[in-house]
């Protein structure tokens, strides 16, 4: 199933649970789009799809500046995986496809 769509997700880390919205487009094994959370919208960088497994990078400035690697598995209308910043433990990512 294509990952294209709006995903309402949460990043669950040692600092708590932060909502994020992924607007993703999957085309020929590539993932493009944006992530919105903490009052900013950032682009998906270098996104790839291998079947139902997705990986992309993004650079955020809030709550602090860092580069993140997101790895998720899509199963129907849900996604689950990890969000990793270089010096921090991996955070859990969970979400569901939006109906709107």
Measure the CA–CA gap between 30 and 18, rounded to whole angstroms. Answer: 26
Using the structure block, give the residue that is written with the tokens 């602090």: 64
Sketch the domain layout of the chain as residue ranges.
5-97
CATH number, domain 5-97 = 2.40.128.120
Q: Is the pTM of this model over 0.95?
A: no
83 CB neighbour count, 10 Å cutoff: 22
Measuring CA to CA, how many Å separate 10 from each of 39, 47, 72?
Answer: 14, 19, 12
Using the structure block, give the residue that is written with the tokens 């496809």: 97
Per-residue pLDDT of the chain (100 residues; tens, 9 = 90+): 789 999 999 999 888 899 999 999 999 999 999 999 999 999 999 999 999 999 999 999 988 899 999 999 999 999 999 999 888 899 999 999 998 6
């Amino acid at each position: 199933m294509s990952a294209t769509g709006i995903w309402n997700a949460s990043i669950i880390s040692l600092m708590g649970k932060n909502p994020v919205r992924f607007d993703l487009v999957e085309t020929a094994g590539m993932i493009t789009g944006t992530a919105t959370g903490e009052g900013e919208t950032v682009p998906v960088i270098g996104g790839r799809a291998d079947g139902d497994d997705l990986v992309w990078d993004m650079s955020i400035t809030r709550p602090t500046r860092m580069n993140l690697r997101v790895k998720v598995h899509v199963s129907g209308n849900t996604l689950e995986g990890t969000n990793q910043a270089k010096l921090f433990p991996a955070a859990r990512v969970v979400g569901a496809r939006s109906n709107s």
